[in-house]
Chain A
Amino acid sequence: MHITEILFWILTALALFSALMVVSSDNPVHSVLWLILVFMAITGHYILMNAQFLAIVNMIVYAGAIMVLFLFVIMFMNLNKDSEPQKSVWLRLAAVVSGGSLLLILVAALKDNGGYINSMKGEGSIGLIKNLGNTLFTEYVVPFEISSILFLSAMVGAVVLGKKESSTPAA
């Protein structure tokens, strides 16, 4: 077994286990920490696939910025206790069964896709910053700039939503 294959299995196991822990841990803070671990595992997969730029972005944006934001909100609302009320057992069972059957059905649908092979090592350089940046700032410059407008509006939206309403009484 090649080293990359070993790494693949380790990362896969880590990702799935952490994801299960995200869903099952009672404390929201623990969930966030497990989720960071999932993202790290996914970053590892990106590196294995030689998608270096995405690996870095995933690390910085997801595992860094977004998860810190989650943590911040949880801390802010003081939710880091284990007292979350649970849904009824039957409902949770139905949820697990339907999730499992979704997985089953999707696997059944996609399992015949086996003809193609995915190389782990660095042939080609599409995942490198040079290639991606080149394409992004030539062909995709307009969507790129538009995404800045999206950010601006998201920012404005967040400020408007998060602002304490002074004039109108809270609902």
Chain B
Amino acid sequence: MPIIPVNYYIFLSLALFAIGIVGVLTRRNAIIIFMCIELMLNAVNILLVAFSKMHHVAAFALDKTTTVGTEAQLFVFFIMVVAAAEVTVGLAIIVMLYRNIHSVDINFLNRLKH
């Protein structure tokens, strides 16, 4: 029986998340920043599925018909739904931004200062 500690998945997820954060912090292109945010969302998704599996395995040892862990996977499904909607609106905003300032460089978005 192949066994992988859940910690590995946690570390994988955290690594992806940290890479996403570094991307958000270092890049100036709004689209790339947006992609990094998607990356962070996916890191969380992995974590959810891994925990779902973990609990399922624990419950399965006692009861062969258990459905423990279903909710977590549905949750991931809803996250994807929301992410899709978010991407639609976000990209629309970026398109409008480009139309207005002819750039997607967030350094030009310093109106908050004024």
- Which residues does A use to contact B, with CB under 8 Å? 2-5, 8, 12, 15-16, 19-20, 22-23, 28, 31-32, 35, 38-39, 42, 45-46, 49-51, 53-54, 57-58, 61-62, 65-66, 69-70, 73-74, 76-77, 79, 84-87, 91-92, 94-96, 98-100, 102-103, 106-107, 110-111, 113-114, 116-121, 123-124, 126-127, 131-132, 135-136, 140, 143, 147, 150-151, 153-155, 157-159, 161-162, 164, 170-171
Contact = CB atoms under 8 A, between A and B. Distances in A.
Given A70-B31, A126-B67, A135-B74, 6 more contacts: A28-B32, A61-B80, A92-B25, A119-B1, A143-B78, A150-B82
Interface residues of B, number: 79
B109 interface: no
A126 B1 contact: no
A146 to B, nearest CB: 10
A131 B73 CA distance: 11
Contacts of A118: 3-6, 9, 50, 53-54, 57
30 contacts: A8-B8, A19-B16, A19-B19, A22-B19, A22-B32, A23-B22, A23-B27, A32-B35, A38-B42, A51-B52, A54-B45, A58-B80, A69-B87, A69-B88, A73-B95, A79-B29, A79-B31, A94-B25, A103-B14, A106-B17, A113-B10, A117-B57, A119-B3, A131-B70, A147-B81, A147-B82, A151-B81, A154-B85, A161-B96, A162-B92
Contacts of B19: 16, 19-20, 22-23, 99
Interface string B5-46: 111111110111111111101111101101110110010011
Main secondary structure of the interface of A (DSSP, over half): helix
A15 B22 CA distance: 16
Contacts of B7: 110-111, 113-114
